[in-house]
Amino acid sequence: MLVYCMQNNFQKYNALVGGGSSGAVIANRLSKNNKVLLLEAGGDPLWYNYIPVFSLEMLNRYKYHESRWPRGKVLGGSSSLNYMIYARGHELDFNNWANITGDSSWNYKNVLPYFKKSLIYKGEFSKNEKHYGSTPYGSLQVESRNEVLMSDIVTDAAREYGFKDGDLNGPQKSGIGAIEATLKKGSRCSTFTAFLEPILSRKNLHILRYSHVTKIKLDSLGSARGVFFNRHGKKYYVRASKEVVISAGAVDSPKLLMLSGIGPKEHLSELGIKPKVDLPVGKFLKDHIGVLVGPFLFDKPVTTFPERDLGLSTFLEYFVNGTGHLTFPNLLHMHGFISTSKVKQQHQDWPDIQLYFSYAGIYDNMVQDFSGLTGAKKNTLEQYFSNFIGQHGVSIGVALVRPKSYGDLKLQNKDPATPPLLDPRYLEHPDDIKAFVEGIQFVVGFAEKTKSFQSINSRIPDIYFPGCEKHKLKSDEYWECYARHYAFTIFHPIGYNYY
């Protein structure tokens, strides 16, 4: 095998693998005082990556009955594809990590300055200087999005439940509020836009696009010395004079480690990979799972139909003013957090359910879009939604954000081009399905029993989701069946540590 050595071109460089959501930030910070070679498998974002409403189309890559995890093979990584919702973790999440690791730097009070340092905050809560403020290092712009008819209805319903109007990030708490998103004048502000684009001319930073790293070179002591990668049909090797930083995401980082001989000894040996460092790489994989609850039908015209309302004027409004429907991530306008009863029994407000509110009506192409998003069969969704196409109404998203179920990631073989095997084991822990169902029941009550939603005669029709006919409608057993048939990933895979 002919391998080209790039060492002469990149002496005294740190090798950084992956220019995605975190890699772009690392490249920015590290290259300020160090030489950095950034190896990215993709190229620059394209024009449509910047338009928020297209998020669904970029993530819509499913096959029926498969929960596929799309990744951002592009500078900015999945931040160039995602829904852009700016939602910080809860204070207790960070404090819990600090306790587990024995490292107090993970405490919320210690990470908060880094949140503030990264931001150019253009949202509604700039007076909250404790959580926002401003620094000369700010790059990631955040804006609010809530100026639609449905927002007042959701806000008034939230007040009926005793939720105060306010900021869900300063700090995170139970409540319902406007979407704040990583936007810059209405366009996507990915980590490429925020952290890489402004420093493309920095002499300390060299970016090699379309460079697929296939293996980390380890020395006899198990230390990383360089990386092998493919670029434009040729194989290369570059030696890192200081560090090799792996920032290829929750899927490709463990995959690369295992291809390099770092991982479970038995699994690697089965595939013919020589084990070099025996570690539980790929274990304890977690992901957020969600479900769309509905349809809630309305008697008043408070929703938007893409085929009717997104036309030439919409695009002009977006490109000229940076406003309008195209600036809403997948037409989401509000979100919220709630704590289920088991959490409340611990006398804590540590939300384990997140809610997502869209203002898209039951539009003509919705079945195809939802099928692509969830992996549910198109004919199943046609059977469920067919009588309501063209009506005003919404589905409300419910997501489990502190799951106890965990799975694993394994290699299929030792070919770097082969995708890994992912088994998240969704809802395997009994507490997860209980919390999920409780979140669904909350949404049903919220959208049917509050005076605000009753003013538009909001209701779920008496129709069964296919496969759940043996259960009483709206019972816990029915919603469990509904969730197990219709739930899907919301694209938040996380690392491989058990907690």
Annotated binding residues for FAD, written as ranges, equal 74, 213
Beta bridge partners of 37: 15, 206
Q: What CA–CA distance (Å, rounded) separates 41 from 315?
A: 31
By three-state DSSP, how is residue 145 classified?
Answer: strand
Q: Percentages helix, strand, coil for the chain, rounded to the nearest 5?
A: 35, 25, 45
φ, ψ of residue 313 to 5 degrees: the values are -65, -30
Number of neighbouring beta carbons within 10 Å of residue 46:
10
Name the binding residues. 74, 213
Burial (0-12, 13-18, 19+ Cβ within 10 Å), 416: middle
* CA angle in degrees (0–180, nearest 5) for 481-293-459: 115
3-state secondary structure of 202: coil
Closest CA to 213 of 233, 192, 236: 236
Nearest Cα neighbor of 282 from 262, 254, 257 is 254
Neighbours of 434 (CB within 10 A): 16
Measured CA to CA, the distance from residue 263 to residue 253 in angstroms comes to 11
Instruction: Name the 3-class secondary structure at 255.
Output: helix
Q: Token pair 């029915």 is at which residue?
A: 478
Residues in Cβ contact with 11 at an 8 Å cutoff, skipping those fewer than 6 apart: 241
